[in-house]
Amino acid sequence: MTAGPVPVYFAGPIGVCDLCQRPLAGEAGFGDVEVPGTGGAWGLLCLPCCAGAAWGWGFGQRYERQDGCGWVLVEGGPPA
Ligand SMILES: [Zn+2]
């Protein structure tokens, strides 16, 4: 066990991808990103819809399923 950054979990409810309406609960992960074509609205997108997204603080955050724990932030977290 190594000491590392405290994992960040997605706290809110997840529903469906805001672009293709795929249920996110069955996905391996999702992105919390600006939705393409909306002119700046943010939403939750499945990973296929996030293809080409830039991950970073202020751009988009990528979460992955962690069995038993929920959804953990893997890319695009706040600067240390
Ligand atoms: Zn999608």
Q: What is the pLDDT of residues 18-75, one digit of tens each?
A: 999 999 999 999 999 998 888 889 999 999 999 888 899 988 999 999 988 899 999 9
Q: How far is the CA of 21 from the centre of ligand 1 (A)?
A: 6
Q: How far is the CA of 11 from the centre of ligand 1 (A)?
A: 20
* Domain assignment of residue 37, yes or no: yes
Q: How far is the CA of 16 from the centre of ligand 1 (A)?
A: 8
* Domain assignment of residue 31, yes or no: yes
* Domain assignment of residue 34, yes or no: yes
Q: What is the pLDDT of residue 26?
A: 92
Number of compact structural domains in the chain = 1
Q: How far is the CA of 3 from the centre of ligand 1 (A)?
A: 35
Question: Considering the entire predicted model, what is its pTM?
Answer: 0.86
Containing structural domain, residue 37: 24-75
* Domain assignment of residue 58, yes or no: yes
* Domain assignment of residue 29, yes or no: yes
Query: What is the C-alpha to C-alpha distance for residues 34 and 69, in angstroms, rounded to an integer?
Result: 25
Q: Tell me whether residue 5 is exposed, middle or buried, using C-beta atoms within 10 angstroms of its C-beta: 0 to 12, 13 to 18, 19 or more.
A: exposed
The neighbouring-strand residues paired with 68 are none
Residues 3-13: tens digit of each pLDDT: 667 889 998 88
Q: What is the pLDDT of residue 24?
A: 97
* Domain assignment of residue 42, yes or no: yes
* Domain assignment of residue 9, yes or no: no
* Domain assignment of residue 41, yes or no: yes
Q: What is the pLDDT of residue 1?
A: 59
